[in-house]
Structure 1
């Protein structure tokens, strides 16, 4: 009799095991939500990773672009998806580190609603100035701004953008005054920077880099903590006048909260292997990006630190998305 009860208990236990424990993951198509329209850096990286995951695991990987509301629409959809490892999200720092402080109701919690998988990439910002500006590095700019107090400005690609936040962080850490001039995107901002309307700008390598190489503007510094291999002669802001300064954009892979830990770890290991490939590194380098990597725990800590950093800048400067 006891053996019969024991057998029944074992069967019941097996029936209650989660699906991932009964079947090898993955055993059906995987979807990666990208909360942006097709063609951007996050979308390109997601498709690259998706193709390589599909080849490694012999399962289709579908990219679903769900742009809108500064990335919040797709992020909301990902947060509400089943936590089974078959819906993932490759997103950028905007929705995960900035939007929660910039918008009163983003519709998700970037920490509680997601299981971090792996940091996929980092993207430096170039600190750029007009080609004929009377300063050529960070120290010279700070000295010039101090002498011209009340007359200095910086332009950005829009309120609440990484370009705007980096400018405010630099202003605060450098102890100088600058008036913010917001634009609707890089094109117009760069035009006015080239024309001397703006004194300074933090902009992505992808958009400002060609203008630097063409001699239309000059790079004073780069925003990463360490020099970028693709711009070896450009010093960091930190080493050339503002110690500790760091302002980057980034992309990372997340799963809905409560996704089983073995699945998260399997994804972390395989995507980490993909990121280490020379082909992926080369493509990121061509976009001005740096390969990410690391553990899920490291991504969580990094995301939390980024939220705290930009929340303070947004609050202290009364920045809104309008």
Structure 2
């Protein structure tokens, strides 16, 4: 039989378990089980590999498993929808990047997620600048020579990309706008066929990340004209930046961030941020990023949020001007 006294004790216990103090206690024990890191790209793709590097380093620091769960498809929309609806308890996070967070919001008419409304940024992981490249057979060696070539051959010059709306496509649109030139865009289904046609002369210029082009650069088949960053990259220290060559402030690249569902408690975000900052300084992570021409970033969760906002604001007018849109 339930007495008034036992009922009162049970009510008091329920109140205690749901109190802010109890929730804080639970967060101080975080993490006490495995963490799922969602990745919207296939196994073996560069973003997947980068996510696994940071997941392992963070797991070592936390002394807890972090397992990568690949959910590719629909331009990463599937993965971001999954994260959006996941519990905001720190046990589901995601590795995301430039296109899903800075390009898709303007590119897609009906995107089922909003980066600012639906996610809490944890940390900016890395930045990989775009390389402006051409065939080694082209009579062009600098940005100045490229611009002169395009203006002299404007009816026949094309540029390639791995697909409409990808970072390399939108980066060339930004260059066109800033430099006052025009070229026809030829989209491909991925970087390999595009780079094959670049070497064959069917498209004349392209932007790509260093990991995609360096083997062909080293083989003497592709020439790098400039790097889309404010400082030269360790992967190609002799190649001048486009900023150095006259495109003031020109910076573009792919970047990676960690996200959590909106409403994840601040102490959990802070712990994940501190752990990721330590992970980025491990020898394994630094070697991986250096090898792939990327720069580890880090910083606070607010730094990450500010960076993402600036990137969305930078790319939105460029995407609109390009006419690229997906229903």
> How far has the Cα of 1:147 moved from its partner?
2.6
Calculate the aligned-residue CA RMSD, in Å: 1.9
Deviation digits for residues 250-295 of structure 1 (CA, Å, limit 9, x no counterpart): 1110111111111111111110011012220101122222212111
Mapping 1:182-201, distance limit 5 Å: 182-201=187-206
CA distance in 2, matches of 1:86, 1:307: 27
Q: Are 1:275 and 1:281, in contact at CA under 8 Å, matched by a contact in 2?
A: yes
- Give the alignment partner of residue 122 of structure 1, picking from 124, 127, 141: 127
Secondary structure (helix, strand or coil) at the match of 1:112 reads: helix
CA distance in 2, matches of 1:317, 1:66: 29
Relative to structure 2, which stretch is displaced further, 203-212 or 145-154? 145-154
Residue number in structure 2 paired with 1:222: 227
Change (3 A) 1:15 1:192: closer
Q: Which residue of 1 aligns with 2:39?
A: 34
In the TM superposition, what is the alpha-carbon distance from 1:56 to its structure 2 partner? 2.2
For the residues of structure 2 that align with 1:15 and 1:201, how far apart are their CA atoms? 56
Tell me the TM-score normalized by structure 1. 0.93
| Offset at residue 52 of structure 1 (A) | 2.5
Q: Does 1:15 align with 2:18?
A: yes
Partner of residue 246, structure 2: 241
Consecutive unaligned residues in structure 2, runs of 5 or more = 1-7
Instruction: State the partner residue of 1:48.
Output: 53
2:76 is the counterpart of 1:71: yes
- Equivalent positions of 1:79-118 (< 5 A) are 79-118=84-123
Is the contact between residue 150 and residue 177 of structure 1 (CA under 8 Å) also seen in structure 2?
no
User: CA shift at 1:13, angstroms?
Assistant: 5.3
Residue 182 (structure 2) pairs with residue 177 (structure 1): yes
Q: Is the 8 A contact 2:109 2:326 kept in 1?
A: no
Shift of 1:10: 10
User: How many aligned residue pairs are there?
Assistant: 316
User: After TM superposition, which residue ranges in structure 1, 4 or more long, deviate above 4 angstroms?
Assistant: 8-11
